[in-house]
Every structure is written in structure tokens, then in C-alpha cells.
Structure 1
Amino acid sequence: MCLRFKAESLNQQQLIEQFPKSIYTSICQHLFLPIVEKVYLFNGVSRETLLHLVAKMKAEYVPPREDVTMQNEAPEDVYIVVSGEVEIIECEMEKEEAVVGTLQCGDMFGEIGALCCRPQRFTFRTKSLSQLLRLKTADLIEAMQAKHEDNVAVLKNFLKHNKRLKDLKVGGTVMEGGEEDGDPKNMSVNLLDVADTGNAAFLNELLRARLDPDIGDSKGRTPLHIAASKGHEDCVLVLLKHACNVHLRDTNGNTALWDAISSKHHSIFRILYHFASISDPFTAGDLLCTAARRNDLTVMQELLKQGLNVDAKDRHGSTALQVAMKEKHQEMVNLLVMNGADVVDPNAYEFSLTTLNEIVKKREIGHRITVMTDNEPPLKEVEGDRHVGIVGKSCRGIDHPRVSIYRGHPLMRKESSCMEPGKLIRLPGSFDQLINFA
């Protein structure tokens, strides 16, 4: 009676776990290895890794109509169907549940969430009494990373199997016409699609398999170009961690830095600029000169807002102002001069000296003011209570000198390309009044 009570309270997994480890491992191999070998994800994986995975798996019996994993649930486990059937159910808000597929013996589910570190897209529900093998995501990742060849095999199988899934965008470019040759370049192409989706976790797994982080598409755009232009900061950090080249240019001559600033992804630009400027002292000058050459006022303004030195030189020794004058881009010259660019040797270019002098004069004057002398009478009011110059006259006929004040030290304003305007105020009678005005 006692023996029967204890036996009835045990399930298969609890029973075999009570055996010594060597016996437990042998039982797992006998029961589950033939099933695991048929799973698509482990095609071509070494027997050593398969044995390690089998030893980590837990067998479970799940009754019919039971939810194994829920939609939007965290990807903690991967499941293999040993017997029975499991339905794939899509649950959309304000819509009825829809069965989009059925899994049978040898099928797997949960691996997309596990490898991509994203919530489950579907709910998986048993259709009949089912036996499942459960493997923790951490154990799967650990086994993949233990052996490089097995890691590549798993990722290759995963990409090939899911090449038509829209949520991964791994279709179209995956091993087209040569998917059986196992060429690493074919797998590297998928980095472009993964970077485009912003899936940093899966991108990291692909790069851990030693795929080329600098693979380019037909336009020369690398995964870094794509991630920077899309604003996927996590992907940018992953690519930098795997030593991608930040200086590569596409067929249009654009670097990832240019794509980031032109798309106004400022945090990504600052990250890339930090890395690029360490290895290339002409990074700032090249960016500014490129914007000047293309007469791209928007990008130039964004670059100056990021604190780049307006007088930085490119690798040819030219400044942005010199390039703009050479190309006769008047608006660009005006923008650079008004942001403090040094005018050096203006006669060397065919740019109009009259126009240049007017721009420089405008910069130097700022608010137009008149300095009074002892022999010069104060300016009179023009219209009503409006006054011109540094001297105003109140209704009582009292003269009020006026001055222009600016926030910050002049040198600091120039270095930071500060464009904040000043204030025209009446000359205060004391320093305390000046502080109050400011």
C-alpha cells in the first residue's frame, strides 16, 4: 500500500532524476536523443553537444487544451514535441483567436524568442495529450557557445528554417541558390536584415559566430550604416563591441557617422564620433567639409550643434569655409562665418569679396550700435517711444545708454558654436542691476 502511494505520486521525470547521474544520462539518451537529432535546429550539430543538451532537458506530459507558452511571454524555455500535437495560436486584440499552425512529433517552438531575446509572438496550446521536452534558454545558449562549429550550425539552421518569417526579415537574401554550401558569406548577409530590424540580441549571436560585421549590400551599406540610419543604438553598440569598421563608406561616400547625423540620431552620432575620432584625427574636418561641399545646411547645423570645431581641417588641410568658398555656396559661407569660422586668405578663391565682407561685417557688428563721442549729440527718437542706437531718450528728456549683453564667455561661445542671441538693455547703474538683467 505504501509503495503504491509513493509510486502514484511520481511522474516520469521525477522518477528518472532519482537515479545516479550516469544512469540518468543513459536513460535520457535512450529516450530523447533520437527525437532531438531530428529537430531542424540541431541538424549538423556534434554528438557531444547533443548529449549535453539532452542531459539538460526535462520531460513533461501536458493535458489537452493547456497553454504551454503565452503570447508576449518572456522567452525562458524552448520546447520539443515528443508526442501529441500543439497548436500555434495568434491572439490579436479585439479579435478571436486564430489557429495558424500545428506542431507534431519532432517540431520545436520557443526558439525564436530564445535566440532573439524577444517576447513570444504566438500562444502554443496542446491539442491532445502531449509529451514535451523542455530546455531552458540559458542552457541552449551555453551549449551553442561552447563550440564554435556547433554555434554556426545552429544559427545556419535557424536562419534557413525561418527565412520567410516577416518578424525576423531574414528572407530574400538568405542563401539564395547556394544554401547547402554553408558559405559563411551567405550567412553574413543576414546581418544586414537583422540590423535593419533592430534585433540587437540576435545580431550579437550572429557576430559571436564570427560572421563578418563589415559585410556590405549592393550599395556598400554595412550593418553599421543601416543601424545608425535607423536609430538602433543597441545594434550600433553590439557592432562596435565586435570591432566593426566605423570609417567604411558606401557607394555615395557616406560613413555611418554621416547617416547618423543626417537622420538626427544624436546619441548614436556621439557614440560613433567618439570611436572614429580616436583612430582618425580628421573625422570632424571630413564631416564638415563634406557638408560644405554638398551645400547641406541642415547637416552642417546639426554638426555645429554637436560642438564640432568649425575650423577643423580635413585630411587635405582644408576647412569647411574654404570648401564652401571654393564651391561658391553663399548660404553655407554665411552659416560658417556667423558661427565663428576664421576667414583665411579670401583672395585665393573666386568667391565674391564684397559678399564675404558684408557677411563678416554682419558677424562683427551683431546688434548695430553707435559709440558716442564728446562732440557728437545723442541720437533722437525715431517714432514715438522707439529709439535707435545705444542712447535712448525718455519722455523726460533723460539720456539712457544701451548695451548688448550675451550669455557666456566669448571664447566659449565660439568653441561651442553657440547661436543664442544677445539682449539689448539699458546700461544698468550698478553691477547688481546687471546681474538682475542677465
Structure 2
Amino acid sequence: MYFAVVTMATVGYGDIHAVNLKEMIFVMIYVSFDMVLGAYLIGNMTALIVKGSKTERYRDKMTDLMKFMNSNRIGRDIRNQIKGHLRLQYESRYIDSAILQDIPISIRARISQSLYKSYIENVPLFKGCSIEFIAQIIIKVSEEFFLPGEVIMQQGSATDQLYFICDGVMEEVGIARDGTEERVSLLEPNSSFGEISILCNIPQPYTVRVCELCRLLRIDKQSFSNILDIYFHDGRRILTNLLEVKESKIGLKHLESDIAFHIGKREGELALKVNSAAYHGDLHQLKTVVRAGADFNKKDYDGRSPLHLAASRGFEDITLYLIQEGVDLNAQDNFGNTPLLEAIKNGQDQIASLLVKEGASLKIDHAGSFLCNIVARGDSDLLRRLLSNGVNSNSKDYNHQTPLHVAASQGSYLMAKLLLEAGASVLIKDRWGNTAVDEAVETGTKQLIELLEEAKSAELSVFPGFQEDIKEKIPRKKCTVFQSHQGDARNHGVVLWVPGSVQELVETASEQLDFPSGSFMLTEEGGKIIDVETINDGQKLYLMGELTH
């Protein structure tokens, strides 16, 4: 005993010295054993001290929780769940991701890749997503454990977490108003939950409860949304995957409309990004969005495509890129404007030339009224650009007036000169039989009258066989005239060309139908014709005689 105690407490092998071979061998063996025993005891005592500190923290936390639950009179079921969850976290602390917080991000990312990649890349929600997107998700997830019976999400709650199941089984349960429960689906490894609430911005549709001990990966809504903002092209794929997954589950089919709505919303956001890039001339951003699958023919709320915006702003590189990508050159917005017309309106002559070279057209609806309004506004620059791009200077409005009529009626010498240089005719008459010269005479503008008279003489000299009262050829209308509106339906009528006046029509019809007492015309509805302009081509009319009392 003395030898053992002294050997343990001193350096060397104690105060007793070996004097023979047997004692030397004994001392060597004993001292070696003593060293091993000392190392073992020191190691165990150190482990006990360290474990004791962890246990102490666990007990302190449990004590605080017990005080809280007692003071707030928490029910027994919730108490048991809290105790079980805390105990589970204590026992699994050795894999707590919190221990990685002091490690550099690059190393932490590699650790997360090795731990969680096999789980995340097999989640159906992320099928077809880019490798970069999945890598960012893996970096942001954290690991959690849950005991059987624990409720992770409550039906109707606002969810801000997205979970992925690594191990274990969970169930989605629908709870009716009377409190009855119905299992909707069973969630197994590689499943996800919380995505409907996060992606569609709706309350959690079902309660999610643990069936077996589960190991989950969690990412918060803000981190997930930030990643989607960067890799926005993956957002469309995720919504499509979500729709496919939920369609396969009978209990979730009623959510299809919500998901489809958000797919449309996502496409609208992509279209907005395309238009924004085109408007600001950001070619790099535009290419990125188009590569992500955005439709560059998608229009905004005014019906404008990216080409409309690029053409109006004068971005030649954007315009050329969109043309190469096959965008519709002649798409019209809600106001009837094509990209070429937008370029012309905004004075982008170089863009207009490029579009014309590629085969774009103006496609102006009611070109006559459009040009007449421009002349009335006095916008000579726009008029010049339109005429140089092929707009017909003799287009007419609803009153058969040409832009030259309007210019003459306003006494605008400059506008009239531009129109005449573009080939406008001074011989065309409006619905009242007036030419541009007649309109100029009414204004009394001497210089304008001289200009139009010179143009008139020049135009007549080109066509020497024409008389001074040449009219523009207007398609003739014909009508079918019957005798008496109340006559026998078997009576034959006569087909006549519509003359210049109602009186001529009555006289011709009376002669052809041998009805000398004919004095006026009625429509099938009984309306009296007072102007031949109101007669439609092919209309049936009835010749009536004077009414006798």
C-alpha cells in the first residue's frame, strides 16, 4: 500500500528502490500500469466535468421551462411534448448545426453539401431546377428533430418555414369545423411541406403531425424568397412541380386553382422583368430573363411587347436582339400601335429604318382619320416620318376627307406642301363634293390657294382626257327596288345602281317598274330614304306612291 501510494504521489517509482532483478521487473511493470491507470482516471474525470456542464445547462433550461409552464398553467399534454422535445435536442446535440457557426462559410457550404445534398436534390418540388439553385438551398437549411405526436404546422396558420423530410413519417390532416380529422396524405422521406402556404401566400391548408421520429431540414421563408429572386427562372419550374405533385393527391386537388393562379402571376412577373430590361436598355438582364424561359412576346397591361418599348426608347442593340430571337415585328398594343409606329412617333429614325429593313409594317387602323388628326394638331415632323414610311397620303376619314382637305381647311401651307410632295391628290372630293381647293378658298389663304391650284393644274396635265370635275373612283353601290311595301311578295323588283340623289333613284325606279306615281323610297323597316349615303350595298327598297286621304 505504501509503495502504491508513494509511487502515485511522487515522480519516479517512489522511495523504495529495487535491489535485485525480480524487484526491478516488478517495479517496471507496476509503474507502467500506474501510468495507464492515471491517464484513464484523468480522462474520465475530464469527461465527467464536460458532460456535467452540458447536463447542467440542460437541467437549467428544463428548470426554467418548468417554472414557465407552472406559472402559466400549461396542460399536461403540452408539458410532455416540451419535455420530450428538449430531451431529444439534448441527446442529439452532437449533430446540432449550431456548432458550425464559427466555421468559415465556404467550409460550412461544403459540409452542408456532403450532409444534405442527397436529400434536397431528390425532393420532387425541386425536380428540374438548376444546380446553383439547389446548392443555395442546401447552404441555408438547418436540421431539426421531432418526436411522434408533435404538430409542426397548424391548419389555417401563416407559415414562414419550409420543411423537407430526411427520415421518418408525417401526416397531413384536415380538421373540420366540428373538430373531426381526416388524413389527407402521408409524408415520407424526400417529401416537403409548407410550400403551398409560402409560394401561394395562403394560410396553411392542413395540419402536419409527426407519426414517427423525424429528422427534418428547414429553411425560412425570407431566405427561400431571396434565393428565388436571384434564380427567378427556377420559380416557374417549382410552381409547375408543385401543381403536378398536388394533382396526384386527391385531397389537394381543390388547391389547383390557387397554384395555377400563382403560375400565371409568376409568368406576369417574368414578362414585367423582360419589359423592364427592354425599357431601360439592359441587354444583359434581358438575355438572362429570356434564357430563363421568359416569353418575349408576352405583353404588359397596355398590350406592349418588349419590342414596342425598345423601339420607342431607341435602343438599337435591344431591338436587334429581339428581332434575332424571332419576336413578332407587327404586334399591336391596346391602342393599335406597332413597334414601327412607336419608333416613328418618338423620332427614332434609325430604329424605324432597321424595322422596315426586317419587314415590319405600320398596320394603322383607320389611317385617314389618324393622318387627319396629325394634320389638325400641326405635327409636321410626325407627318413627314409617316409619309416617308409609306402611309398613303390620300387615305380618307369617315367623311371621305383626306389629310389635304384638313390642311387646306386650316390654312396650313406647310402641311399641304408635305402632303403634295408625298403624292396627295387635289382632285379628291369629300362626301359634300368639296375638293382641297374649295376648302382653301373658304379660308382665303392666298399662298395656299396658289399652291393647290398649281398642283391641280399639274395633276390634270398628267391626265389630259380627264375633265375638271374628276372624282376619285369610289366603289358603286346597288340596291333592289320593289313596287309598294305592302304589295305582293311575288312581284319582281329591279336592281339599280345607286345614283347621286334620291330623286334620281325614284325616277329611274318608277320608269323601270312602270309605276309613274312613285314619289319616295322606304326601307324594309319602314324608314324613309332621304339621303343616298344611307343606302347600303345590296339593300332592299320599296317604291311608294303619294298617300291619298
Higher relative helix content: 2
Larger of the two Rg values belongs to structure: 2
Please say whether Structure 1 and Structure 2 have the same fold, judged by a TM-score greater than 0.5: no
Instruction: Tell me the TM-score normalized by structure 1.
Output: 0.42
TM-score, normalised by the number of residues in structure 2: 0.34
